[in-house]
Amino acid sequence: VIRANMAADLRANERLTDEELEGVPATFLLAGSETSATQTSWTLRLLAEHPHVQERLRAEIQAAKKQHALEGSAGTYEGCLVGDVHALPYLECCIKESLRLMTALPSTVREATEDDVVPLSKAYRSADGKSTFDSVVIPKGHELFVPIAAVGLDTELWGPDAAEYKPERWDNSATQLPAAVKALPGPGLFSFISGPRNCVGQRFAQTEIKVLLAH
């Protein structure tokens, strides 16, 4: 984190302050543990509700364990190294789909640091019904509610099957995602937000879940 914060191509307003850097370890140890545990629980529930997905995932993990058998002091242990779990494509798909469909953090809040005008993807009718608008004025200091769960379930983004658990939608490095989703940061995976204030523990959290499911 410190090395990334010192990158030469990082703008001044994107750098973390010393106080923010000091809070990173606490975020990993405290905030990260609960959300990772919750997300693992949701993933296990979804796998239990979709036996065909569970069987395919089990087959991938078992094949990896046989290929990367480890010799332990008590005999042969067929397990997966941390590096191995990142080489399991279907495990990656299952977790990303779980994060999309039943994210552990359904929403968050951000505060605008300067005045801005946010363009909308389409025009909307005003409250009085007499006009339309295609942008929103955001004044400095205004708090913005970010509906993470709603983005993951939006049929305009994900299609009519948005409420279904379909890990295969993430196959082939997410190249099969709908065009509207590919335009989102990630691409598509909005559970950790994006930009310079995204979740600092997103890679760590996903690795934790992968290791737990693989064992």
Closest CA to 196 of 128, 113, 133: 113
Residue 76: its pLDDT value, please? 46
Quote the pTM value: 0.79
Strands of 83-215 (E only): list them.
108-111, 116-125, 132-138, 143-146
Three-class SS state of 75: strand
Q: Give the span between the Cα atoms of 172 and 187, in whole angstroms.
A: 13
State which H helix or E strand residue 111 sits in.
Answer: strand 108-111
Work out the percent of the chain whose per-residue pLDDT is above 90. Answer: 49
Q: What is the pLDDT of residues 154-208, one digit of tens each?
A: 999 999 999 999 999 998 766 788 888 887 777 778 888 877 778 777 888 888 8
Question: How confident is the model at residue 74, as a pLDDT?
Answer: 45
Tell me if 136 sits within 8 A of 120, measured CB to CB: yes
Write the pLDDT tens digit of every residue in 10-32: 888 778 888 877 777 766 666 66
